[in-house]
Amino acid sequence: AQRVTQPEKLLSVFKGAPVELKCNYSYSGSPELFWYVQYSRQRLQLLLRHISRESIKGFTADLNKGETSFHLKKPFAQEEDSAMYYCALSRTGSARQLTFGSGTQLTVLP
Amino acid sequence: KAGVTQTPRYLIKTRGQQVTLSCSPISGHRSVSWYQQTPGQGLQFLFEYFSETQRNKGNFPGRFSGRQFSNSRSEMNVSTLELGDSALYLCASGSGTGLEDTQYFGPGTRLTVL
């Protein structure tokens, strides 16, 4: 069975500080990993996916298959980054069937 | 492009009743997926429809069913409602093909079972 673990329910950092949201997964095959974000009163939306290897809004995430992790990082947090972040997994080629972690609420303090 | 729309946005039902939720995908999208979100279990995949066929199914009882129409609109039905079915139900649409298919989520339908 596949599982996604986000160990921190809440995370607070000061503006300009680095931020790292942790995500660990268990999956027997070759997974696709995603980060979704939900800003206050907005819809859940894709932030980034590991196969794209993009940096979105200054965020990056590297898939570490040895540690089965996909941590989300940003070197300098901004107040507008405050949101709920979900890590998600799917089997390769099946981005429509996502297994989500429980989410981390990030608050960036002024 | 209009986003994914879900109707109704809020519903109140009583135990034992049934309910139907609707999802209209982004124009041109052929895949619709449904998720249940609760405080206890988080976001859980229900099923996915593509070209009117159920392509993937999550681990939910048979009381949860769905269908997709030729215009890609999808409905989800829950029969014999239980208190534990109270949740936010999200649908997401995508092209349904390709490795970089992106899921676009709707605002959700908030179902309360009394």
pLDDT score, position A95:
65
Look at residue B86 and tell me whether its pLDDT is greater than 90: yes
Contacts of B50 (CB under 8 A, 6+ apart): A96, B30, B31, B32, B68, B96
Name the band, by pLDDT with cuts 50, 70 and 90, for residue A54. confident
- Which residues in A lie closer than 8 A to residue B58 (C-beta atoms)? 97
Contact residues, A window 48-67, toward B, CB-based 8 Å cutoff: 49, 51-52
Look at residue A92 and tell me whether its pLDDT is greater than 80: no
Q: Work out the mean pLDDT of chain B and round it to a whole number.
A: 94
Q: Give the chain A residue nearest B50 (alpha carbons).
A: A96
- Burial of residue B24 (number of CB atoms within 10 Å: 0-12, 13-18, 19+): buried
Side-chain half-sphere of B49: how many Cα atoms within 13 Å?
21
Look at residue A103 and tell me whether its pLDDT is greater than 90: yes
Residue among A58, A50, A47 nearest A86 (CA): A47
The pLDDT of A29-41, averaged and rounded, is 91
Give how far the C-alpha of residue B16 lies from the chain's centroid of Cα atoms, to the nearest Å: 20
**Lowest-pLDDT choice from A10-14, A66-70, B98-102:** B98-102
pLDDT score, position A91:
79
- Which residues in B lie closer than 8 A to residue A99 (C-beta atoms)? 45
The rounded distance, in Å, linking the Cα atoms of A103 and B45 is 15
**Lowest-pLDDT choice from A2-6, A26-30, B28-32, B90-94:** A26-30
**Inter-chain touch A43–B99, beta carbons under 8 Å:** no
Please give the residue that has the higher pLDDT: either B56 or A75: A75
